[in-house]
Structure 1
């Protein structure tokens, strides 16, 4: 091992040790992202709600890790029984939504807790959701008098979403109360067939941060009390899907993560210095010059300098007719109406274009015709268009 490699190795080890010390001593930062993940203990995860859901729904809750479409297609008996359907911040495909509407039409109740709902879903229920507030603090309350003493204060990143338009048959069950603005509807009930569809536009009330406050649990219980005491299916497909990345386990454990980054850093340094030592000089090979292109350019400049547009038109016409004979197998002896018709049928170009081109070709073949530069440009454009 030479002296240079030893120096680089020592520098690399010192850098890795310093980075590891910084990593070990840094303070853990809270993840305030709204992930709504049943396995996350971050402030806006659903870990606590997931643990308490059995008691909240009186042991009549079943978590389903399939889409509604797949579940109802595979489970025939449940389709004939009235039940509750719970969806929390999950993407619903169109086929699944139609299956859910079928259950609501038969008498099941649907509870959707989300601040983003596709327009075609909101249209089928009878409301329009939009951003109604930009306040940092607001209070969630229910309109029913028996719940007037129960409320929930949102003091961390409220969505501010509410219902700006509601059809007449839709009932407002809850509102967002603010100091500076009028009350905004955030919880509605829409009749659908023999059942009902409930929609709450602020899913933060069931996250870890708010459920850890004892006074807020009562508000959550009141919201879900609107569902009948039937079996409840909670479709958690979008919330419970874990990463299938093969390095997820390594990166989730700090010691393994540090070892992994040290290994990668060492490999990069090894490849860099090893390649630098052994790589040969790549000779520069000049590409061959295209002398044919230069020749054509010279001939073209010569014709332009001479200004013999009639001769250039004649040669262009001769080249065109030769291509027609060889490629299209059309006789070019007589440039009459029959020739124009055949050329039209074989090329598919408009008859007017072909007739104009024939006139210019005849003009080029006439040695006594007066030819201008514009005639040459026009004929060149027409003949190139016909042969494309």
Structure 2
């Protein structure tokens, strides 16, 4: 087995063990969001209500997964009941509902917010809001006075104010500081009635599962006549068709899926490098010019031909003078020395000594010593600086 693959496998196993330990020790978090979803089992979902609602309406309930505007444009219905629970309906849909009510149907709207245009037509101008952490919902009818619900978890505190005289108040909210406000009203529109309840929390899982609370719910729905009821649940009942829905809905499967994806990402990350043959290291070509010069210099020294080296040094120097200083070097006389003195700024004594050594190097019969070569080399290098 490849050594690198073993390392990656060990890293992956360690990560899986760490994630498993976190998952085992993780505490289940309660989702307290007010989702009002018929498929949610969280505290503020409507799963329990969705299971019991047929019994409440004596199996005479039909769920509609369209908005009221589209449904009533496609279907003609006789007198019936309309149920809307915390749905975000457009104004056209509200108007369709009110049209059906005016014909003799009854509508029960259980929501914490209704558009102003609709609320004005129902019979109240606006809603008020309380910020108390507890409240008690009671009905005003004496036969229901012993049935109530205590809201001790995030009540919305919604209620009605500026209620018109023709509007009947069916229920109220009472807070611990003795503040009372209407939360359940009835108004007549045409031949039918509209019932509006401003606190949908009493239908959620958290409150319906408490002993005795179901009675209040039954009392609220008892105001509707015993006939077919259409429940518009378009925004809540549409189930996702995503192929991963089942896996992601189960904590254990969801955890296994994310671990699998994490391992796959690690595998791809560590193996994404392009594999290729080892590129051989090519040594760059060395500059042998210096070595060549050193070799030639050593050759001259070994042969002891100082005269030839002085001649070549003199030839190189005079060539530089002609090219760089533009001085004629045909005659190495006093005039040449003065021009070189003026252009280089070197002392005339140094230049005269250098000229003398150059002449000595050019004379094939002159006796040349090693000291002459060394001295001439020093003087010519100093002059050309």
RMSD, aligned CA = 2.0
1:176 aligns with 2:176: no
Aligned partners of 2:17 and 2:245: how far apart in 1? 24
Of the structure 1 ranges 239-248 and 270-279, higher mean CA displacement relative to structure 2 is found in 270-279
Aligned partners of 2:8 and 2:39: how far apart in 1? 44
Aligned partners of 2:231 and 2:14: how far apart in 1? 52
1:114 aligns with 2:111: yes
8 Å contact 1:137–1:156 — kept in the other structure? Answer: yes
Of the structure 1 ranges 201-210 and 142-151, higher mean CA displacement relative to structure 2 is found in 142-151
The equivalent of 2:92 in structure 1 is 95
Q: CA deviation at 1:59?
A: 2.2
Structure 1 unaligned residues grouped into runs of 5+ = 280-388
1:60 aligns with 2:57: no
1:69 aligns with 2:69: yes
1:213 aligns with 2:197: no
The equivalent of 2:271 in structure 1 is 274
Change (3 A) 1:119 1:246: farther
- 1:322-373 CA-to-partner distances (Å, cap 9, x unmatched) read xxxxxxxxxxxxxxxxxxxxxxxxxxxxxxxxxxxxxxxxxxxxxxxxxxxx
Pairs aligned (count): 276
Secondary structure in 1 aligned to 2:227? coil
8 Å contact 1:132–1:184 — kept in the other structure? Answer: no
User: Aligned to 1:134, which of 131, 135, 148?
Assistant: 131
8 Å contact 1:106–1:193 — kept in the other structure? Answer: yes
Secondary structure in 2 aligned to 1:214? coil
Aligned partners of 1:262 and 1:226: how far apart in 2? 53
Change (3 A) 1:139 1:21: same
Aligned partners of 2:28 and 2:125: how far apart in 1? 40
User: What does 1:1-388 align with in structure 2 at a 5 Å threshold?
Assistant: 2-76=2-76, 78=77, 81-276=78-273
Change (3 A) 1:254 1:48: closer
Q: CA deviation at 1:181?
A: 4.6
Q: CA deviation at 1:167?
A: 2.2
Structure 2 unaligned residues grouped into runs of 5+ = 277-385
TM-score by length of 1: 0.67
8 Å contact 1:128–1:166 — kept in the other structure? Answer: yes
Change (3 A) 1:98 1:7: same
8 Å contact 2:184–2:198 — kept in the other structure? Answer: yes
Change (3 A) 1:245 1:215: same
TM-score by length of 2: 0.67
Of the structure 1 ranges 31-40 and 121-130, higher mean CA displacement relative to structure 2 is found in 121-130
8 Å contact 1:189–1:197 — kept in the other structure? Answer: yes
Secondary structure in 1 aligned to 2:14? helix
Bigger Cα Rg: 2
8 Å contact 1:129–1:161 — kept in the other structure? Answer: no
8 Å contact 1:132–1:164 — kept in the other structure? Answer: no
The equivalent of 2:293 in structure 1 is none
Q: CA deviation at 1:278?
A: 5.8
Aligned partners of 1:273 and 1:50: how far apart in 2? 50
Change (3 A) 1:260 1:161: same
Aligned partners of 2:126 and 2:222: how far apart in 1? 23
